[in-house]
Amino acid sequence: MSDPSVSSHTHAASVNDRPVLLDVRNLSIDYVNKDASPAQAVRELDFTLRAGEVLGLVGESGCGKSTLMLGLMRLLPPAGRIVDGAVYFQGRDLLALSEAEMEDVRWKNISIIFQGAMNALNPVRTIGDQIGEAIRLHMPRQDSAAVDARIRRLLDLVGIAGNRKDQYPHQYSGGMRQRAMIAMALACDPQIVIADEPTTALDVMIQAQILELMGNLQKELGLSIIFVTHDLGVVAELCDSVLVMYGGVTAEYADVDTIYNAPRHPYTQELLRAFPDITRPAGKLTSIPGYPPRLDDLPPGCRFAPRCPQVFGRCRQEMPPIYRLDDKHVASCFLLEGESV
């Protein structure tokens, strides 16, 4: 990846003037399992996504990224419960819709590329057939010729020759399977695409191609994208803003330039030190010592306190609130108390 500190984000500035499409407020999600205390997987999460904005959702494995995305799509597994909050899409609270109304929002307004989905394609059905199913289900008035033309157009959009629609998943490379998943997500012209770790299983070259494709699609189609990743290094080029999660809560949320050049939460600072940097000799990568907390057995104060290099007494007793540092920069750390606006 190129040096994120030099990326110029004129796009980010203009995005802040666009209308808000998605407004997630105070969203909290538990996993409730028998014989165990509930796991507080997501707590009091707030963020907005504007038309044409690319948001990076970043944090270590287990911090609740997928849970947050599945929650706002109302696709949580049976143990998952939304315990508080609202998810406004163009002003309508998705959590108040009937299941049928919600099903209409999925695909047509917001579509999701599930984590690991490229490896879960049906092996005995062609790629074209699987993309076509999404079109037929959600745009039922199209005849088969129109569906066929649409499959080819979608494949073309993601850089796959239309005549490969009749091939099976095993005839596609990993990168092509991920492109096919992106095509499927675009099947019904959504305004928002959520991509959960879309590049994680791919090698570095292919990863870069997928990122480039998503950037191009964003521009061409004016898409809004939520890009979920554990690797802060991946999102610099693509994103306008970044939400850093830790242990189910917001650590820091700001424009991409602020996150990379002036991060204020110790966790963001540590994450930046931990991602691969081509200017540093191989082997000098630092990882953050310790492990993320168990969500059913959280520490009493700040969730990052047990691993924080700047921890002090209060951090172990109270949970820090979210401090607003400026218009679009919030962070949850007692060190910032005096700077709150």
Ligand X SMILES: Nc1ncnc2c1ncn2[C@@H]1O[C@H](COP(=O)(O)OP(=O)(O)OP(=O)(O)O)[C@@H](O)[C@H]1O
User: Which of 28, 40, 66, 250 touches Mg ion by CB under 5 A?
Assistant: 66
The answer to whether 272 and 260 are in contact (CB under 8 A) is yes
229 makes contact with Mg ion (CB under 5 A) = no
33 interacts with, out of ligand X, Mg ion, none, CB within 5 to 8 A per kind: ligand X
Nearer to ligand X, 24 or 41 (CB): 41
Query: Contact residues for ligand X (CB under 6 A)?
Result: 31, 33, 39, 41, 59, 61-67, 77, 79, 115, 230, 295
Nearer to ligand X, 59 or 266 (CB): 59
Q: What is the smallest separation between the CB atom of 237 and ligand X, expressed in angstroms?
A: 20
| Rounded alpha-carbon distances, angstroms, from residue 232 to 87, 164, 170, 196 | 25, 34, 31, 14
Nearer to Mg ion, 28 or 66 (CB): 66
Q: What is the smallest separation between the CB atom of 21 and ligand X, expressed in angstroms?
A: 22
Q: What is the smallest separation between the CB atom of 192 and ligand X, expressed in angstroms?
A: 18
Q: What is the smallest separation between the CB atom of 123 and Mg ion, expressed in angstroms?
A: 23
Q: What is the smallest separation between the CB atom of 67 and ligand X, expressed in angstroms?
A: 3
State the residues that interact with Mg ion by CB under 5 A.
66, 115
